[in-house]
């Protein structure tokens, strides 16, 4: 096990996967247009970030900060989606 992978690889991958599941769960509760739009955005952002993280850590590519920014943006979107579902 590589320490770099344990610190910078697995936690963002777990966060992204949990956000996708949580967003789809919120979408099943309430299928408003805003929920559909937010769920599609969160799923696409996190899927792309998971793909880039996979390429970074399991193939010979240069590291980049883009997946971390995308996971941060999707975290903000999931907070918005959760607040909108509570009302």
pTM equals 0.89
Whether the per-residue pLDDT at 2 is higher than 90: the answer is no
Chain segment 35-58, per-residue pLDDT in tens: 999 999 999 999 999 999 999 888
- What residue ranges do the domains of the chain occupy? 3-86
Closest Cα to residue 53, out of 1, 21, 7? 7
Residue 31: how many CB atoms within 10 A of its CB? 10
């Amino acid at each position: 096990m590589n320490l770099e992978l344990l610190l910078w690889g697995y936690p963002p991958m777990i966060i992204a996967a949990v956000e996708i599941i949580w967003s789809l769960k919120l979408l099943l509760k309430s299928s408003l247009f805003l929920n559909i739009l937010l769920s599609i955005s969160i799923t696409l952002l996190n899927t792309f970030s998971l793909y880039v993280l996979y390429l970074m850590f399991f193939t010979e590519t240069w590291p980049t900060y883009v997946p971390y920014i995308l996971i941060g943006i999707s975290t903000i979107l999931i907070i918005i989606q959760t607040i909108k579902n509570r009302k």
